[in-house]
Amino acid sequence: MKPGAKARLFYCMTTESFIRQAGLETILEKIEAGVRLSAEDGLHLYRCDDILAVGSLADRVRSRLNGDKTYFIYNQHINYSNICTNLCKFCAFGKEKESKLAYQMTVDEVRKKIRDRLDEPITEIHMVGGLHPDLPFSYYLDLLHGIKEIRPSVHIQAFTCVEIAHLAELAGKSVADTLDILKEAGLGSLPGGGAEVFNPRIRQLTCDKKLPGEEWLQVAKTAHRHGLRTNATMLYGHIETLEERVEHLLALRQAQDETGGFLAFIPLAFHPKNTEMSSLAKTTGIDDLKNIAVARLLLDNFPHIKAYWVMIGPKLAQIALSFGADDMDGTVKEEVITHMAGAETEQAIGSDTLVRLIKEAGRIPVERDTLYNVIRTY
């Protein structure tokens, strides 16, 4: 046997033995046999203290699905307004119209933001905002038209499922018809925000005015059936139980079984500063890695799991590439939502830094577009 193959065999034997020692033998067997994990398995993984064992299981699945490729995108975030009628307790971004911190961009201001970065190879505009009480439906169509006029080839990933339900009310149309109109105006896909934790107890305690979880899923599935791919998120690390996390993940898995329209899942680490829940502690590195790993293991039908460097920091996001993540999101350019809640990361990152982080993790950096078409392999 060649020395490399010997070392690999030894590595596999030792990782398998520590997975067994961590009490994850049955889950290992299921993963090896391609058997779907149950809610109990999900809880068992969340409760397991051996983060390396949980991570190594997730890493097997990541490797099986994505090989050595790790994706990133050249994107620009735009938050057209923070005025919001929902005022969720975990959110530092949303403000009442009368607040001194409230803002609302005109379509021309958004156009200027696009024009200002025309010399950068941006392929995606990620655009979300609060639920504004009086902007008309035409404003949102003008935003899409305005962006496309300046950057015709860019992919616009905009409006969470929560915003889409609000826009449908404004338009006086069904969600399906509203999505068709937005698509016609230039919408390319939907980001994964607003999912929070689907469980009604959590919604009632943290965001009682927000679209219920079941309806969030309905909007996502309608988008998929109308040719729009979407992402999905879970905001963890506040008052949710492990059971509620697992329930959330399994609801997403069920929806994906029905439509196959989700591209990526992004666990979002709760940032408490400047929120009504500011007495809560920040998440820990172990919990951040565990959410990536458990998501990779339970969401067997999601092609991609993102380690969003804005929320967990570029260094932990790099480590997360060995715990189930295969995507680092992107350059972002001007993140606002997490920074208003005390994020200590930069508001943007260079593509060269992303490439370096990915390479040093032993992976192949792949610049992608929103739909995961390869733009460049490094």
Residues at the contact surface with ligand V47, assessed by CB under 6 A: 90-92, 160, 191-194, 196, 231, 233, 235, 266, 268, 270-271, 275, 308, 329, 337-338, 341
Between 31 and 340, whose beta carbon lies closer to ligand V47? Answer: 340
Between 19 and 261, whose beta carbon lies closer to ligand V47? Answer: 261
Q: Which residues contact 283 (CB under 8 A, 6 or more apart)?
A: 236, 237, 269, 270, 312
- E strands in the chain: 69-73, 75-78, 124-127, 155-158, 187-190, 229-236, 262-269, 304-305, 327-330, 364-368, 374-377
Between 111 and 304, whose beta carbon lies closer to ligand V47? Answer: 304
Shortest distance, CB of residue 227 to ligand V47, whole angstroms?
18
Shortest distance, CB of residue 346 to ligand V47, whole angstroms?
15
Between 126 and 148, whose beta carbon lies closer to ligand V47? Answer: 126
Nearest residue to ligand V47, by Cβ distance, number only? 193
Shortest distance, CB of residue 52 to ligand V47, whole angstroms?
26
Q: Which residues contact 230 (CB under 8 A, 6 or more apart)?
A: 161, 189, 190, 191, 192, 220, 223, 224, 261, 262, 263
Tokens coding 271: 């940032």
Shortest distance, CB of residue 193 to ligand V47, whole angstroms?
3
What CA–CA distance (Å, rounded) separates 328 from 331? 9
Shortest distance, CB of residue 164 to ligand V47, whole angstroms?
13
What CA–CA distance (Å, rounded) separates 209 from 158? 21
Of 272, 302, 316, residue with least CA distance to 62:
302
Between 52 and 87, whose beta carbon lies closer to ligand V47? Answer: 87
Between 192 and 365, whose beta carbon lies closer to ligand V47? Answer: 192
Q: b/e string for 6-29 if b means 16 or more Cβ within 10 A?
A: eeeeeeeeebeeebeebebeebbe
What is 97-112 written as a DSSP string?
Answer: TTSTT--B--HHHHHH
Between 52 and 375, whose beta carbon lies closer to ligand V47? Answer: 375
Shortest distance, CB of residue 196 to ligand V47, whole angstroms?
5
Shortest distance, CB of residue 14 to ligand V47, whole angstroms?
36
